[in-house]
Amino acid sequence: MIRVTRSSVIDAPIERVWAVLRDFNSHIDWHPAIAHSEIENGEKPDQVGCVRAFSLKNGAVLREQLLTLSDENYVSTYCILDSTIPLKRYVATVKLSPVTDGNRTFWHWESTFSTPPGMEAELSNAVGTGVYETGFKALQEYLRRPGANNKTTKAPANVSTPTGTAHSIMMSRHGGSEVFSFAETTLRSPQAGQVTLKHTAIGVNYIDVYVRNGLYGALIELPGTPGMEAAGVVTVLGPGVTEFAVGDRVAYACPPVGAYTTARTMDIGQLVKLPANISDDIAAAVMLKGMSAEYLLHRIRPVKAGDTVLVHAAAGGVGLLLCQWASRLGAKVIGTVSSEAKAQLAAENGCGLPIVTRDYHFADAVLEATGGKGADIVFDGLGKLAFEENLRALALCSHWVSFGQASGPHDAVALERLGSKSIALSRPVLFHYTADLDTLKQMASNVFAAIRAGVIQPHIGARFPLVEAAKAHDFLESRASTGAIILEP
Q: Are residues 349 and 277 in the same domain?
A: no
CA distance 93 to 86: 19
Q: Are residues 324 and 417 in the same domain?
A: yes
pLDDT of the residue at 437: 87
Q: Are residues 352 and 416 in the same domain?
A: yes
Q: Are residues 323 and 384 in the same domain?
A: yes
The CATH number of residue 274's host domain is 3.90.180.10
Q: Are residues 140 and 16 in the same domain?
A: yes
Q: pLDDT class for 145, splitting at 50, 70, 90?
A: low
pLDDT reading at 482 higher than 70: yes
Last residue in a domain, options 150, 181, 211: 150
pLDDT of the residue at 148: 44
Contacts of 187 (CB under 8 A, 6+ apart): 162, 163, 164, 165, 166, 196, 263, 264, 265
Q: What is the CA radius of gyration of the chain?
A: 24
pLDDT of the residue at 384: 87
pTM, rounded to two decimals = 0.63
Query: What is the average per-residue pLDDT within 60-83?
Result: 92
Q: pLDDT class for 163, splitting at 50, 70, 90?
A: low
Residue 235 domain boundaries: 162-286+461-488
Which one-letter amino acid corresponds to residue 234?
A: V
Query: What is the average per-residue pLDDT within 51-66?
Result: 90
Q: Are residues 145 and 48 in the same domain?
A: yes
The CATH number of residue 370's host domain is 3.40.50.720
pLDDT reading at 136 higher than 60: yes
CA distance 103 to 113: 33
Q: Are residues 213 and 257 in the same domain?
A: yes
For residue range 321-367, what is the model confidence (pLDDT) as tens digits?
999 999 999 999 999 999 999 999 999 999 999 999 988 899 999 99
Q: Does residue 333 form part of some domain? A: yes
Q: Are residues 24 and 137 in the same domain?
A: yes
Q: Does residue 244 form part of some domain? A: yes
Q: pLDDT class for 127, splitting at 50, 70, 90?
A: very high
pLDDT of the residue at 414: 80
Q: Does residue 293 form part of some domain? A: no
For residue range 217-244, what is the model confidence (pLDDT) as tens digits?
989 999 999 999 999 999 999 999 999 9
Q: pLDDT class for 12, splitting at 50, 70, 90?
A: confident
Q: Are residues 263 and 173 in the same domain?
A: yes
From residue 447, how far is each of 257, 291, 298 by CA, in Å? Answer: 22, 7, 11
The pLDDT mean for the chain works out to 90
Contacts of 131 (CB under 8 A, 6+ apart): 31, 33
The CATH number of residue 31's host domain is 3.30.530.20
Beta strands at 424-426 and 460-465: parallel, antiparallel or unpaired: unpaired
Q: Does residue 395 form part of some domain? A: yes
For residue range 269-323, what is the model confidence (pLDDT) as tens digits?
989 999 888 999 999 999 999 999 999 999 999 999 999 999 999 999 899 999 9
Q: Does residue 60 form part of some domain? A: yes
Q: Decide which of 100 and 166 is more confident.
A: 166
Q: pLDDT class for 135, splitting at 50, 70, 90?
A: very high
Count of domains for the chain: 3
Residue 309: how many other CB atoms lie within 10 Å? 27
pLDDT of the residue at 149: 36
CA distance 189 to 172: 24
Q: Are residues 8 and 143 in the same domain?
A: yes
pLDDT reading at 157 higher than 60: no
Q: Does residue 325 form part of some domain? A: yes
Instruction: Please list the residues that pair with 203 across neighbouring strands.
Output: 229, 486
pLDDT of the residue at 86: 92
Percent of the chain with pLDDT over 90: 70
Query: What is the average per-residue pLDDT within 145-161?
Result: 38
pLDDT reading at 433 higher than 60: yes
Q: Decide which of 160 and 372 is more confident.
A: 372
In this predicted structure, which of 378-387, 411-420, 437-446, 474-483 has the lowest mean pLDDT?
411-420
CA distance 420 to 295: 27
Q: Does residue 291 form part of some domain? A: no
Q: Does residue 156 form part of some domain? A: no
pLDDT of the residue at 90: 94
Last residue in a domain, options 93, 117, 150: 150
Q: Are residues 146 and 167 in the same domain?
A: no
pLDDT reading at 153 higher than 60: no
CA distance 438 to 22: 33
Could you tell me if 227 and 202 are in contact, meaning their C-beta atoms sit under 8 angstroms apart?
A: yes
pLDDT reading at 41 higher than 90: no
Last residue in a domain, options 87, 116, 150: 150
pLDDT reading at 35 higher than 90: no
Return the HEC string of the chain. CEEEEEEEEECCCHHHHHHHHCCCCCHHHHCCCEEEEEEHHHCCCCCCCCEEEEEECCCCEEEEEEEEEECCCCEEEEEEEEECCCCEEEEEEEEEEECCCCCCEEEEEEEEEECCCCCHHHHHHHHHHHHHHHHHHHHHHHHHCCCHHHCCCCCCCCCCCEEEEEEEEEECCCCCHHHCEEEEEEEECCCCCEEEEEEEEEEECHHHHHHHHCCCHHHCCCCECCCCEEEEEEEEECCCCCCCCCCCEEEEECCCCCCCECEEEEEHHHCEECCCCCCHHHHHHHHHHHHHHHHHHHHHCCCCCCCEEEECCCCEHHHHHHHHHHHHCCCEEEEEECCHHHHHHHHCCCCCEEEECCCCCCHHHHHHHCCCCCEEEEEECCCHHHHHHHHHHEEEEEEEEECCCCCCCCCCCCHHHHHCCCCEEECCCHHHHCCCHHHHHHHHHHHHHHHHCCCCCCCEEEEEEHHHHHHHHHHHHCCCCCEEEEEEC
Q: Are residues 31 and 124 in the same domain?
A: yes
